[in-house]
Structure 1
């Protein structure tokens, strides 16, 4: 199954799009609409693709990238263990302000996992593992066709296992 199915079989053609100069807060808004309860366009897509002003793909920003950014911002002042609630609230407010003024270009992943539409799912899975990413961008001749999330590959693998059990 992982050799028969191809990236084009499970590619998501709907995904959030960002500009390099968007704020991280705007990026979180768009990603949140995909992972929220109502799902929005690109439901379940945990990354957004980042384009420049000429509509050239420049990178990707995943939910993990935003969470890591917030963690780094919160831990700049050291460990949060034993800190009083009002102290944490102050640190958290400041981290949120920093996120609001940080540009996507400063946080995005420029070394995205890219696969071809005819790559077998086994190659897609290998790409996730090699780069430690939970998404891959499907491109052909420099054109973005969509994205594949790790949960898309998991759905294919688990479906096969469940049907054989």
Structure 2
């Protein structure tokens, strides 16, 4: 039964999108809002001005952007008298004023709705991602999260014992 599962069986048809012209701050806000509804969501789909896929921003994208800004701050060092709160606030302000463009992940894991479970697992393993987009006819129709794949796999495993 498990091997009959397809990407469409596990995909979420409701997913968060953002325009490529948005700021990093807006991306952070949108992902936080999305995570209130779905705590295991870690990705926002980025669309270009024509509504086509440009890439994604993920939780890792956001954390890396913040880290890069903090590490660039000259006042932050491992010396004891550094004002970490002030430096972090300044780095956060600089980070959030950036455009989203430099942080878009364009190497996106793409599935077809009919891809079987084994293909889904292979894509997750090869891309080393916790998500994949489901595309049909050039349009993104859903997102598969690793947590959903895990639920499907373990549901059938647990019921056997």
The two structures share one fold, judged by TM-score above 0.5: yes
44, 51, 58: which one aligns with 2:47: 51
Quote the residue 1:18 is aligned against.
Answer: 18
Gaps of 5+ in 2: none
Q: Aligned pair 1:142/2:135, yes or no?
A: no
123, 128, 151: which one aligns with 1:127: 123
Change (3 A) 1:153 1:134: same
Q: Aligned pair 1:30/2:36, yes or no?
A: no
63, 68, 73: which one aligns with 1:67: 63
Quote the residue 1:100 is aligned against.
Answer: 96
The answer as to whether partners of 2:2 and 2:156 remain within 8 angstroms in 1 is: no
Gaps of 5+ in 1: none
Quote the residue 1:91 is aligned against.
Answer: 87
TM-score by length of 2: 0.89
Q: 1:67 Cα shift?
A: 1.2
Q: 1:155 Cα shift?
A: 1.0
The answer as to whether partners of 2:66 and 2:91 remain within 8 angstroms in 1 is: yes
Quote the residue 1:111 is aligned against.
Answer: 107
Whole-angstrom CA distance in 2 between matches of 1:74 and 1:104: 17
Q: Give the number of aligned pairs.
A: 160
Structure 1 residue matching 2:45: 3-state secondary structure: strand
What's the C-alpha RMSD, in Å, of the aligned pairs?
Answer: 2.1
133, 153, 156: which one aligns with 2:152: 156
Whole-angstrom CA distance in 2 between matches of 1:85 and 1:128: 44
Quote the residue 1:7 is aligned against.
Answer: 7
Flag as ranges the 4+ runs of structure 1 deviating above 6 A: none
The answer as to whether partners of 1:2 and 1:120 remain within 8 angstroms in 2 is: no
